[in-house]
Chain A
Amino acid sequence: DSGVTQTPKHLITATGQRVTLRCSPRSGDLSVYWYQQSLDQGLQFLIQYYNGEERAKGNILERFSAQQFPDLHSELNLSSLELGDSALYFCASSVQVSGNTIYFGEGSWLTVV
């Protein structure tokens, strides 16, 4: 158990809908990362937050947004969902903003039908 908690574990929704994925980082970790893992594109970095502020942005679509709240939990919002958004979404956390080990949650499986 990494200490990173993600909910829900599985989610099935229809195209055009909106979903929210939630992440609670390890106790004491200030940095949260979101990744998307799909069969054809591997592990893609989406976005990083550090202590509530956006720190780095990767290949995140405009239909997707995220935020980190004062209690340090984070949410990833996915809207206008398409079939191609079906993937495993991972949250990870670390103590510092860079250079150190990050710890992954077990992921949220999103299936868009």
Chain B
Amino acid sequence: GDSVTQMEGPVTLSEEAFLTINCTYTATGYPSLFWYVQYPGEGLQLLLKATKADDKGSNKGFEATYRKETTSFHLEKGSVQVSDSAVYFCALSEGDMRFGAGTRLTVKP
């Protein structure tokens, strides 16, 4: 069945460092791909999404490109801030939404 694999954390970075969180997927068709973020004590919020190959989703300085040839949707940000500390989930949807295990990011001043 459909599944998502994302890099294990935790990830600890200094403020202004470059961030990459890897995500690969397995799907039978052409899923939509998502990144969700969960701040402490809150539910998941949509960060960005892409619905077809080569689409780039972007929001709040984060970007991810839907790569069908490598079945990937890696999350990147050029300069992280302390406020980006959260758990990030990669997800796909061909029907129900399937999530990766989550990657905890801590950004230190």
Contacts and interface: CB of A to CB of B under 8 A. Distances in A.
Same complex for A and B? Answer yes
A106 B42 contact: yes
Contact of A107 (B34, B43, B45): B43
Interface of A: 2, 4, 33, 35, 42-43, 45, 48, 55-56, 58, 90, 92, 97-107
A14 B30 CA distance: 44
Closest 5 pairs (CB-CB, A-B) = A104-B43, A56-B96, A42-B101, A98-B95, A104-B44
A99 B94 contact: yes
A107 B41 CA distance: 9
Contacts, number: 56
A106 B43 contact: yes
B45 A43 contact: no
A90 B44 CA distance: 9
Contacts of A102: 93, 97
B96 A33 contact: yes
23 contacts: A2-B43, A2-B45, A33-B97, A42-B101, A42-B102, A43-B89, A43-B101, A45-B97, A45-B98, A55-B95, A90-B43, A97-B95, A98-B94, A98-B95, A99-B94, A100-B32, A100-B93, A101-B46, A102-B93, A104-B36, A104-B44, A104-B45, A105-B43
